[in-house]
Amino acid sequence: MNEIKSSNTLEEKLREFTPKQKKLIFSNLGSMQLTEGCSIGCIDCGFNAKKGIRDYIPAEVILNIFSKIPKPAAHLMCLYYASDPFDYDFDGMNYVNIHKKAEEMLEKRIYVSTSIPKGKEQLIFNLLKKTSSNIVNRISLTKFNYKRIENALSEFNFVKNKPQFQSNLDTFVRSNRISTRILDFYNDINRYKIGDKNKDSLGEIGIGCYNGTLLTPKGV
Ligand code: SF4
């Protein structure tokens, strides 16, 4: 991913706000989209993520913003949106580095769900193996990634005898983590666009329904 250059647009856009407005933006930060686009590229993405990474927020900008957020960051939920956190890997900083900095600087537990981008399988499996790392909360499995992940799991010898993948992975991510249910979700119900209400037993929950400001590589 080193050939991708940051547009540095976020920094420029933030200059358009007054200090008072910036304070409001930072203190209400709900999420930061570290990268624009998603390497997974599910054709039915509920967030309309564009396939492929095309921009990112430089690490120094991210850390500078963290330093301006009142602690603990009351509204911050995660560091991705229409993107996968583990696609962040630029200028010597990967998602794990940013995540650790965020939790340390913001005194806040940051939620992580990943579809395991290609090339990041071993890194993520190793994180899941170490209960002490406690970074990944959830894995999304869809028909667009589960074969690759299944192959990677057996290649790295995380799964012996290769029985049914879903139960393997559920066991793998159990303990204090939330096991994935996305495969069922994918098979059982239609995917919904942002803001739409689910029409089944999941009730009134929509994809990405939470309050707060969003920073992206392109602005606020
Ligand atoms: S992994 Fe998530 S964000 Fe990426 S394309 Fe698929 S549904 Fe969209």
**Residue 219 C-alpha to ligand 1 middle, in angstroms?**
20
Closest protein CA for atom 8 of ligand 1: 45
| C-alpha span between 156 and 121 (Å, rounded) | 9
Task: Evaluate whether residue 3 is within a structural domain.
Answer: no
Task: Evaluate whether residue 96 is within a structural domain.
Answer: yes
Write out pLDDT tens, residues 39-95. Answer: 998 887 878 899 999 999 999 999 999 999 999 888 999 999 999 999 999 999 999
| C-alpha span between 65 and 116 (Å, rounded) | 26
194: confidence class by pLDDT, cuts 50, 70, 90: very low
Strands (E), the chain: 29-32, 35-36, 55-56, 89-90, 93-94, 113-114, 138-139, 213-215
- pTM of this prediction? 0.82
Q: Is residue 139 lining ligand 1, measured as CB closer than 6 Å?
A: no
State the pLDDT at residue 190: 39
Identify whether the C-beta of residue 76 lies closer than 8 Å to the C-beta of residue 110. yes
Question: What tokens does 17 get?
Answer: 């706000």
Give mean pLDDT, residues 3-24.
Answer: 96
Q: Name which residue leads in pLDDT, 61 or 186.
A: 61
Question: What tokens does 168 get?
Answer: 């393997």
Write out pLDDT tens, residues 104-148. Answer: 999 999 989 889 999 999 898 888 766 666 788 777 777 778 778
Q: Is residue 49 lining ligand 1, measured as CB closer than 6 Å?
A: yes
Domain of 75 in residue numbering reads as 9-215
pLDDT over 50 (residue 175):
no
| C-alpha span between 216 and 53 (Å, rounded) | 13
State the pLDDT at residue 47: 84
Write out pLDDT tens, residues 85-111. Answer: 999 999 999 999 999 999 999 999 998
- List CB contacts of 46: < 8 A, sequence separation 6 or more: 191, 192, 193, 194, 207, 208
| C-alpha span between 220 and 213 (Å, rounded) | 7
State the pLDDT at residue 206: 53
Out of 38, 39, 54, 185, mutate this one to test ligand 1's pocket (max ligand atoms within 8 Å of CB): namely: 38
Write out pLDDT tens, residues 19-34. Answer: 999 999 999 999 999 9
State the pLDDT at residue 199: 40
Q: Name which residue leads in pLDDT, 74 or 8.
A: 8
Exposure string for 114-149, b = 16+ CB within 10 A, e = fewer:
bbbbeebbebbbebbeeeeeebbbebbbbebbbeeb
Task: Evaluate whether residue 1 is within a structural domain.
Answer: no
Number of domains composing the chain: 1
Phi, then psi, of 111 in degrees rounded to 5:
-80, 140
State the pLDDT at residue 181: 43
172: confidence class by pLDDT, cuts 50, 70, 90: low
Partner residues linked to 113 by β-bridges? 138
**Residue 49 C-alpha to ligand 1 middle, in angstroms?**
6
